[in-house]
A = this chain, B = another copy of it.
Amino acid sequence: MMQRPGIKEVAKKAGVSISTVSRVLNNSAPVSEELEKRVKKAIEELGYYPSSIAKGLRKGRTGTIGFILPDITNPFFANIVRGAEDYLRKKGYNLILCNSDQDRKQETELLKILISKHIDGLLFTGTGSSNPLLVEKIRKGLKVVFLDRIFEEINSSYVIVDNKIGMNLLLDYLIDVGHRNFIFINGNKETFSAKIRYEVFAERARTEKLEFKHYFTEFSYDAGYKKAKRLKGLPDVILCGNDLIAYGVIEALEEKGYKVPEDVSVTGFDDIPFSKHFKPPLTTVYQPMYEMGRKSAKLLLEIIEEKKVSNKGIVLLPKLVIRESTKEMRR
């Protein structure tokens, strides 16, 4: 565990009493300008953090939060990280990131490393539907907030987006403008988000009597590209598990000489920052990525600082974003 200077060291260095330092930190009572200057100078020179981190250290915390995520090259996660990081920094915590690369073994390995490095808590977006080591560690008291994807077997705090609403908004629109024949190129079979989107889709397909094929692949550009390369015949619309899959699908379709949306509509999921400028601009479901990151960091600190004892789930709302990769069907 790292050593950080405390309020005592600041008082000593500034040549003032601890209560003077405390008054400066908390603005709780007037202090002369000169004393305030000396205290602030000492704080800066010592690299002392006021506020939560100081409180944390008194209880043996390290001021470090871990974040295991499945794909650092997906801007969806990069923007979640930014939201989490902005919040944590303001509170005096630092974030260390580990990329599992959608590999369960790797995820377990990274989890071991983070635990060995004394993190105060963990933000976690899993690659599959469980991870026995993580479940065990949570039961033993590891403080975790699940992000975007939850494990069904354990009751834990989480921040997710309502996938049901997102999928239904998208399907309402597509059905409304005349799409009847669907191919759904979905993400990783084991993930909560891919599973729930498939369930919503299958249910709608049944009640609306849609024709469809569904494939689980991976939440990546390459997976979309490869799957679309092998497709024979085109549906009205190719639904993709996320924006990256959609980009890969569009690339493959273009290489095969098809035009989007003239020959086939394509949709994504996430609305990563580039999707607006993609060619063609992508019809997709916006997920509040930055907000997810921020809210999960806030929730985790509440748990660490023991303001929350029971688990809490936060569900954010997605939005449908209609752009130019889909068209109205003429029938």
Task: Tell me whether chain A's interface is mostly helix, strand or loop, or mixed.
Answer: mixed
Q: A72 to chain B: which residues have CB within 8 Å?
A: 72, 78, 81-82, 97
Contact status B279-A251, CB under 8 Å: no
- Are the C-beta atoms of B106 and A99 separated by less than 8 Å? no
How far is B279's CA from A95's CA once the two chains are assembled, in angstroms?
A: 34
Produce 1/0 per residue, A92-110, CB < 8 A to B. 0011111101000010011
Give every chain B residue within 8 A of A64 (Cβ-Cβ): 113, 117
Interface status of A258 (Cβ within 8 A of chain B):
no
Residue A79 is within 8 A (CB to CB) of chain B in the complex? yes
Complex partner residue of A95 from B2, B78, B94, B99, CB under 8 angstroms: B99
- Expressed in whole angstroms, the Cα–Cα distance for A279 and B64 within the complex equals 40
Docked pose: A2 CA to B109 CA in angstroms: 11
In the bound assembly, the distance between CA atoms of A2 and B110 in angstroms comes to 12
Judge whether A215 is part of the interface by a CB distance below 8 angstroms. Answer: no
A24 to chain B, nearest CB (A): 20
Q: Is the CB of A116 within 8 A of B277?
A: no
The answer to whether B96 and A221 have CB atoms under 8 Å apart is no
Q: Are A112 and B279 in contact (CB under 8 A)?
A: no
A173 contacts the other chain (CB 8 A): no
Which residues of the partner chain B approach A113 to less than 8 Å between Cβ atoms? Answer: 2, 63-64, 94, 96
The 9 closest A-B pairs by CB, nearest first: A2-B116, A97-B97, A279-B279, A73-B78, A274-B274, A117-B117, A96-B96, A72-B78, A277-B278
Q: Give 29 CB contacts A-B under 8 Å.
A: A1-B116, A2-B113, A3-B116, A47-B109, A63-B113, A72-B72, A72-B78, A72-B97, A73-B75, A75-B75, A75-B78, A78-B78, A81-B99, A85-B99, A89-B101, A94-B110, A95-B99, A96-B96, A96-B98, A96-B113, A96-B114, A96-B117, A97-B99, A247-B277, A274-B274, A274-B278, A278-B278, A278-B279, A279-B279
